[in-house]
Amino acid sequence: MENKYTKLFFIALFISVFMLQTECYAHTSQETKFPAIRWECLNLSQAQQARINMLDLNWQKTRESFTAQIMQDKQKLRYLLSNPFALDAEIKSVQQRILINQQKLRNYAMENFLRKRNVLTLLQRKKLHEMLSN
């Protein structure tokens, strides 16, 4: 009887450890379609966590600003495309502004990721690599 419970205990322990480890691996964010990184799984110091939180806050503000402008321009573009009197140059200008802002947003996202990565120690970077590779 004790042997049976011992086996069940170790099976449960293995499953819980396995589940805990997989929670720390990056998963694809529904919002961005890119891996969402679980920074808390990297055992950050308080200073590192504060810096990453600040970078996240700045990212949120920047993303909201760009996203609002992109959405506004997309609405304008839809209006212009449905307007028989809209000038081709204006349509092209709005389309170009959308593309430029989308690219700026992607560039800022990459810069923000690299800033966060620079906060990490070599060991934490290795762990980050493992998280992103799985």
For residues 30 and 66, membership in a common domain is answered with no
CA distance 110 to 91: 29
Find the mean pLDDT for residues 75-90: 96
131 contacts: CB under 8 Å, gap ≥ 6: 24, 25, 26, 35, 37, 38, 41
- According to the model, what pLDDT value does residue 21 have? 46
For residues 113 and 68, membership in a common domain is answered with yes
For residues 78 and 106, membership in a common domain is answered with yes
For residues 74 and 113, membership in a common domain is answered with yes
- According to the model, what pLDDT value does residue 20 have? 42
Residue pair 28/34 in contact (Cβ under 8 Å)? The answer is yes
pLDDT confidence band for 39 (50 / 70 / 90): confident
Q: Does the residue 29 lie in any domain?
A: yes
Find the mean pLDDT for residues 71-91: 96
- According to the model, what pLDDT value does residue 40 have? 85
Total number of domains constituting the chain? 2
Q: Does the residue 127 lie in any domain?
A: no
Q: Does the residue 52 lie in any domain?
A: no
Pairing status of strand 27-28 against strand 35-36: antiparallel
CA distance 102 to 77: 15
Range of the domain at 80: 61-121
Q: Does the residue 92 lie in any domain?
A: yes
Residue pair 24/131 in contact (Cβ under 8 Å)? The answer is yes
Find the mean pLDDT for residues 63-81: 96
Find the mean pLDDT for residues 36-64: 92
pLDDT confidence band for 37 (50 / 70 / 90): confident
Residue pair 51/119 in contact (Cβ under 8 Å)? The answer is yes
Retrieve residue 48's tokens: 């590192």
For residues 78 and 29, membership in a common domain is answered with no
